[in-house]
Structure formats: C-alpha cells, structure tokens
Chain A
Amino acid sequence: MAANVFVVNTLVMTVPMALAAIGGMFSERSGVMNIALEGKMLMGACTLALVGAATGNPWIALGAAMVVATIMSLIHAVLTQIYKLDHVVSGMAINALALGSAKFLSDKFLDASKQIAFLPMEVFVGLGLLIPFLTAAWLRWTRGGLRLMATGSDPEKCRQIGLEPVKVRYESLIVTGVLCGIAGSAIVTNAGQFGEYVTAGKGFMALAALILGGWRPLPTLLACLGFGVTQALQLQLQGSHLMGASLPSEAWNATPYLVTLLALIVLGAKNRAPAGLGKP
C-alpha cells in the first residue's frame, strides 16, 4: 500500500515539472533563455481554476489554461524578438506580471464557493509521461526537430541557409506556452484549489531538470523523476526518523537545487547548453 502511494505521489510530483521542463526545452533549444516557466505555469493554473469554476467544464478550462499560458509565452516572444529585451530581464518581467495577474484575477474573480471542474489526474500523468518521448522522437527524426536544434545551435548559419530563427522561436514559444498551461493545470488539479503559491517553485525546478538533463527530452524526464522521487519521499517520510534523526522537510525540498548546483560545478553548463542561447 505504502509503495503504491509512493509511486502515485512520485508521478503526481513529476508530471507538472516534466511538462514545464519540456516546454522550457523547446524555448531554450530555439535560443530563448526561459526563466519564466514559473510565471507561465502560474497563469495556466490560475486560468484553469477561474474557468473551471465559472463554466464547470474541465475541458474548456484546460483549453483556456493552454491559451492564456500561450499568450504569456507569446508576449515573451514579442519582447525578446521584436523589442530585443534581454532574455533574463524579460523572463523576470513575465514572472512578475504573471504573479501580479494571478493574484489580481484570483482575488477578484475566483468564487471560492464554486466547485472547480477537474479532469482526472490520470490525464495529466499520461500526457506528462508521453510528451517527453514524443518530443524526443520529433527532435530526432523530423525536419522540424532538426530545424529547432539547428536554430539553437547556430542561428546565424540557419539564416544563411534560409531558415528563419525568429519564426522557429515564435513556434517554439507557442509550444512552451501550451505545455506550461497543461503543467499549471496539472498542479491545480492535484492541489484541488488555487492560490498564488500553488506552483511553489516548480517552474524553477523544471529549469533545473532541463539543465541536469542537458537540454535533451528523455534525460530531462529522468531528472524530473528524480526530483519527483525526493518530493514523494518527503511526503512519505515527513516526521519519521531516518537513521536516528528526523530530516527537516526543507532538506528534501532543497535536494533538487543542490543537485543542480553540484552538476553545474562538476559538469559545467556551457558545453552542453544550446550554443545559440540568448543570441539574436
């Protein structure tokens, strides 16, 4: 029984991270550094709750969450590609905007007395496990995937052979938005309610997983699973004594960040990061 709960918890924790991380992969592989996954997820989560409560239809809610997160992502695309904002600056601005908007909208329009209509969590688990594999296959075996990788590696050469990096980036950021929308929806579905704290840094963990996974879909999924395991372990072992001492829950939560930091130190990042990250 306990093992069952553990597996379920792991999957539930892993899936939103995996979806957001794959979203981040699309963005970063196209050359747009993305520290705004958290904000996009939050907007997706907020929209799911608002529309889910207002319409009572979970599919409409999921669709709306994907659309709103995609709008955020397109704003990101416009800011970086047309207004040439620095990717870090625009990412921070998107996060601030998303946090403010989510607070504003949920304060003003979320009717706490109304039930939010949810899809079963299995839908999200299925998507979260399937999409990384589909992405891996797409990257490896299709023209679009190769174009994406080429854009991220050397946008200038792409221009010379007639590929438009900017167009690829718009398309990629749409995918990022859609995936972050699903990720945010998964989080709210699991939590059963919305608050602006609901994403709880999952977007940054997704970013960490992306880096640990070397910007490749399947290793990234694996990193997310690793993070999911630590979080499920935390839920499982909370308060219990491990080897004589009880570990504070913070130690479990900090593990993904510590591992990523260590990986940055041991492996270095630049040699594995898309070479065109942040280039015009």
Chain B
Amino acid sequence: MNWRLSVLVVAVVALLGVAIMSTQVPPATVFKTLFEGSLGSASRISDSLKEITPLLIAGIAVFVALQAGLFNIGAEGQLILGALSGVLVAQRIPGAAGWVLGSLAGMVVGGLWALPAALIKVYRNGHEVISTIMLNNIALLLGSAMVNGPFKGKLSGAPTTDPLDKGSMIPALMIGNLRISLAIFVGLALAIGIAIWIRKSVRGFELRAVGANLRAAEFAGVEAKRVMIRAMVASGALAGLAGSFQSLGYEGRFYPDFSPGYGFDALGVALLAGTNPWGILPAAAVFGILNKGSSALTIEGVPKGITGILLGLLIIVFAAVRYRESKASGS
C-alpha cells in the first residue's frame, strides 16, 4: 500500500470516527447494534435477506454491463418498472403462473427500458450515464403516475396497487421464523451462472474484451456494437427481474418508493466486486446488512445517514485500491 492510499484510508476512518463520536454512542454499541439489528434473530435475518435479494440481482445486472465497459446507472429505473409490471401481470394471472410470468414481464420491461440507452450509446455516441439518469427519473415518475392513476388500488387511499393473492407470490421456505424466499435462491443461481458464463464462454469473453479495450476487440473481429447493446439490455432485464422479484417475493404489491435506492446501491455492489464475479454475493450481503442494520441504529440515536456515509466511503476506498492494482499489473 502506498502513502496516498494510506492517507485516504486514514481520512476515511477519521471521518467515520468523527461521525460516530458526534452521536455520543460508543462505537462498540454502534457495531453491536448494527449486527444485532440485521442478524440478531430469525425475523431480522429474513429482513436482511429481503434487502440482499434485490442488491444481489441488480448487482449482477450492473456487473454485466460494467464488464462490457458500460455504466448502467439506470438499474433503479429498470428495477422500478420491472416491479410494477411484475405486479400488474401477477394480479391478472392466478396461481404460480402469476409470479413466473410476472417475473418474465419484469425482465422484458427492464430490458426494454435499457434499450434506448444502449442505442443512444452505440449509434448516437451519447454517454449511457446521461441517458440512464434521464430514464431513471422518467421511470420513477411513470411508476408514480401509474399507481396514482390507472392502476391505483381500490383498498387503500395511498398510491399503491392492491396486494397480490398469496398464491401468485413467489413461494418461500419457512424455518421457524426464518423466511427464505425462492427469489434469493434464483439470485444465487444467477450469480453462479453469470460467474461461470463470463469467465468460460465465448460470449462472456467477447463481453470482457469489449469492456477492456473496444478498439482491440473490434480489430479482433468482435462485433462490439452488438455486444454492447446485448450487455445493456441483459443488464436491464436483470435489474427488471430484481424489481419484479422484490414486489412478487417480498412486498406483494407495488408502490413507487418501495426501493430505497437498490439500483444505486447495486452500482456500489458491482464496484465492490470489481472484476471478480464471485465478489458480488459478499458485496450484496454487506450492503443488505447495512441497510437493515441502520434501522436499529436509528433507535440507538445514530441517524440513518451513517450507512450512506459508510457506503460512499467504501466505494471510494475500493475504487482507489482497484486503480492501484490495475496499474501495478500494468493494464
């Protein structure tokens, strides 16, 4: 570790230290509360899993795009519309077919919502970050307009859809009070599948080649434009799936602010994982546990914002370390 990184780490730790000191809650209590609040009991673990699931799947989504050199800042918007379309489909189809088709609908809508960003990037040379930021805001407003307007539920005055039948929700395994949704298993399978695919398949290699060096990949005969469009749409579809799983597996309905920013945190998850697909799961777990644990911290008198600060700092430190590593290895 060189001195610049050391300075950064010291500064980060000092900042966190000052923040915690200012609350006058002993640091040991902070960490204890954080862990007990997220992992202390079966129901808390269940709640943490609810947070980890979308972070894991959306994290994979952002990771896939990032491997092709694309920033999918739009995961949040894709996730929101995926959740909405998942619920709308599942409301109309009874039984298990409801959530299966609902999840598929979420994937389709998420993928379609990412498509404009991909096309603008490839054919109009517009930065995908800008277009996805615009698409995010439109998606957020669209979601809110839909549940304030045509799809507003009849049972509640609030802007939300009516709750789904239990039967058309994603089933969950119950062990005592511990609820493990099928959604998290699918997420795990996806993480493993993507990890193998991206390292072992030709398509996965093409994806990484485009991300590593666009020009070189094109010279080598990779159809870079097609790879980029595919990567972005796949990323959108995964983010859409994350959203529909959240509404079909956990929430049981759609309301506009169900996501505390899963799509944005997913970017953090992917950045923490870096180039290693096996890093997505632990990164999602860290983010999910912090999300859940922060509610308990509020009760102790530590404002919720502390986890936002922590996550922002984590991203900074990891990105800085990554840069050193990539420079050291000469790429």
B100 to chain A, nearest CB (A): 30
Asked if B137 contacts A254 (CB within 8 A), the reply is yes
Enumerate chain B residues within 8 angstroms of A85, measured Cβ to Cβ.
316, 319-320, 323
Asked if A108 contacts B145 (CB within 8 A), the reply is no
Interface string of A87-109 (1 = CB under 8 A from B): 01110111111111111110110
Tell yes or no: B200 within 8 A of A by CB.
Answer: no
Asked if B138 contacts A100 (CB within 8 A), the reply is no
Tell yes or no: B63 within 8 A of A by CB.
Answer: no
Asked if A97 contacts B138 (CB within 8 A), the reply is no
Secondary structure at the B interface, as helix, strand, loop or mixed, is helix
Asked if B137 contacts A201 (CB within 8 A), the reply is yes
8 Å CB interface, B291-323 against A: 303-313, 315-316, 319-320, 323
Tell yes or no: B148 within 8 A of A by CB.
Answer: yes
Q: How far is the CA of A65 from the CA of B149 in the complex (A)?
A: 39
Tell yes or no: B286 within 8 A of A by CB.
Answer: no
A25 to chain B, nearest CB (A): 14
Of chain A, the residue at the smallest CB distance from B130 is A211
Asked if B303 contacts A104 (CB within 8 A), the reply is yes
Asked if B312 contacts A269 (CB within 8 A), the reply is no
Enumerate chain B residues within 8 angstroms of A270, measured Cβ to Cβ.
125-127
How many residues on B have C-beta within 8 angstroms of the other chain's C-beta atoms? Answer: 47
Asked if A261 contacts B145 (CB within 8 A), the reply is no
Tell yes or no: A268 within 8 A of B by CB.
Answer: yes
Interface string of A197-220 (1 = CB under 8 A from B): 000010010011001000000000
Tell yes or no: A251 within 8 A of B by CB.
Answer: yes
B204 to chain A, nearest CB (A): 22
Enumerate chain B residues within 8 angstroms of A100, measured Cβ to Cβ.
305-312
Tell yes or no: B142 within 8 A of A by CB.
Answer: yes
* Residue from A92, A107, A257, A258 within 8 A of B304 (CB atoms): A107
A-side residues, CB < 8 A to B, are 33, 35, 79, 82-86, 88-90, 92-105, 107-108, 196, 201, 204, 207-208, 211, 248, 250-251, 253-254, 257-258, 260-261, 264-265, 268-271, 273
Closest 8 CB pairs of A and B: A100-B308, A103-B305, A104-B305, A97-B312, A107-B303, A96-B312, A270-B125, A100-B309
Supply 20 A–B pairs (Cβ within 8 Å), ascending by A.
A85-B320, A94-B312, A96-B264, A96-B268, A97-B316, A99-B305, A100-B312, A101-B305, A102-B305, A204-B137, A250-B141, A250-B145, A257-B135, A261-B116, A261-B120, A261-B131, A269-B125, A269-B126, A269-B130, A270-B127
